[in-house]
Amino acid sequence: MRCSTLFVALSAAAGVLATAFGELPAGVPRNVHEFRLKHPYKSNGGGSDHADGQRPIVKIRPSRNATDGVADEFLKGLHKANHGGTLYLPKGELYIIDKPLDLTFLDDVQVHWDGEVKFTDDTPFWQANAFAHPFQNSLMFWKWGGKDIKLYGEGILNGNGQRWWNEFAGLEILDPDNEYLRPILFYAENATNLEMEGIHEKDSPCWTNFIVTSKGVSFTNVIVTAESNNASSLPKNTDFFDSLNVEDVTVERVWVNIGDDCFSPKSNATNIHVDTMYCNGTHGQSMGSVGQYAGEKSFIQDVVIENVWLLNGQHGARIKTWAGPDVGYGFVDNITFRNFWQAANEYAAFLDSCYFNIDASTCEQYPSQMNITNILFENFTGYTSGKYGTAVARLTCSANPDAVCDNITFKNFNITSPCGEAVIICDDIRGGIGVDCVPSNSTEATAALAATCTVPQATIAPPF
């Protein structure tokens, strides 16, 4: 079934009108250029004023060619700029990083980043020499840490990911038998007051950012892309943001065009605010996954995500927790998803308590031990892709009698389906959710899921 019905939906985040399936509301950027026009960013010169005068500027030599590594020079430059200086990477210069760097010694340092920093794509070297973290077998090109670190500019951080995606094709990051590990583009640990502004993070082999045991982290006016030139090897697991043990995180005005979660804090995250994100081809604004590791407590608490456009992806607002015989426990509490405009996503809201290929019988026998409480989905407009028929949202809480799933609320939820009248499916939630919903084993849910159809992708390129 092909739907051509026009609709008019108020975008709470943009305050403008949508027109037809596949078209974006007026004023919504469709590409990086339009994003920069709508949200301009300009570096503040080769160094900003400091409390005791002008910051000293440090420069290092750029790479002479694509194989000329300057990792040692980059490290020396940051040592020299540390304690009050600025490392300056001018526009038009290339800096090849060919070895892992431990940058966890930083104290009051800035990087004025207008050039391009690019990692080599020597996959055997990096798999043998990269830093490692036990969480989901993560590898890192480098690790940043310390206090009062600011990275700003109009330059590029390039993960050179194509070879990694090609060689990883067909594998799964969470498969316990997977031995092909890929580095994370930007990793920070034990950081306090870490800022990234303006930079274009490009083609990460795996997660784009992984922030661990840190406080006071911000990403502002950042562009994040992962775009393959090989249709059979698309970017995978290239999440914009992942974290472990973080608090006080701010994300403002970010463009994301990648192949996985647009935003995805994991275990032990609190006090997070996301405002104004454009996400194309992602898995959604995700809480988690959490509860993966046996006997380990994890939580996500006090999060507001608002003013978000989600296009051509898997889901919109998403919560994912693990089930099975050897998982952890904990809670997801006080999460607000507000002012979401969506186009051609599968579910506009999705709560998954049986995450990552766990079969239904196992989830039934060993349901999730995560509490899900005080979740608000407010001011949602737009339309789904039709993959799940007229079902536009699905909330599946744990059937575990000791896992609370309470105060889940929909307010001004105006998501339509191109296949017909919208249906919301929900299971094992205490009380009502503020709108009508039906259990997954009902005739209404079965009919909704069977009524599949398709719509064009929302346009993100300039009109021709």
Per-domain residue ranges of the chain: 32-450
Report residue 417 as tokens. 């389906």
Encode pLDDT of 214-237 as tens digits. 999 999 999 999 999 999 999 999
Report residue 179 as tokens. 């031995």
Span 342-364, mean pLDDT? Answer: 94
pLDDT at 450 over 50: yes
What is the predicted pLDDT for the residue at 461? Answer: 77
Rounded-to-integer distance, Cα 95 and Cα 65, Å: 9
* Contact partners, residue 5, CB within 8 Å, separation at least 6: 21, 418
pLDDT at 3 over 70: no
pLDDT above 70: percentage of residues in the chain = 93
Span 426-432, mean pLDDT? Answer: 95
pLDDT at 308 over 50: yes
pLDDT at 1 over 70: no
CA atoms within 13 A on the CB side of 286: 29
What does residue 257 show for φ and ψ, rounded to 5 degrees? -135, 90
Least Cα distance to 309 among 1, 77, 5, 35 occurs for: 35
Rounded-to-integer distance, Cα 435 and Cα 415, Å: 12
What is the predicted pLDDT for the residue at 434? Answer: 97
Residues designated catalytic:
260, 283
Say if residues 26 and 20 touch (Cβ distance below 8 Å).
Answer: no
pTM of the predicted model as reported, rounded to 2 decimal places? 0.93
pLDDT at 17 over 90: no
Encode pLDDT of 115-166 as tens digits. 999 999 999 999 999 999 999 999 999 999 999 999 999 999 999 999 999 9
pLDDT above 90: percentage of residues in the chain = 88
What does residue 123 show for φ and ψ, rounded to 5 degrees? -65, -40
pLDDT at 8 over 70: no
What is the predicted pLDDT for the residue at 356? Answer: 87
Task: Identify the weakest region by mean pLDDT among 22-36, 270-284, 326-340, 392-406.
Answer: 22-36
Encode pLDDT of 176-216 as tens digits. 999 999 999 999 999 999 999 999 999 999 999 999 999 99
Encode pLDDT of 270-291 as tens digits. 999 999 999 999 999 999 999 9
Residue 463 neighbours by CB distance under 10 Å: 6
Higher pLDDT, 50 or 223: 223
Confidence band for 20, pLDDT divided at 50, 70 and 90: low
What is the predicted pLDDT for the residue at 24? Answer: 85
Say if residues 72 and 111 touch (Cβ distance below 8 Å).
Answer: no
pLDDT at 330 over 50: yes
What is the predicted pLDDT for the residue at 12? Answer: 33
CATH of domain 32-450: 2.160.20.10
Span 415-421, mean pLDDT? Answer: 97
DSSP 205-238: SS-SEEEEEEEEEEEES-EEE---S-TTS---S-
Pairing of strands 186-197, 142-152: parallel
Span 19-36, mean pLDDT? Answer: 85
- Look at the block and give the residue holding tokens 């575990």: 400
pLDDT at 16 over 70: no
Average pLDDT of the residues of the chain: 92
Rounded-to-integer distance, Cα 129 and Cα 229, Å: 27
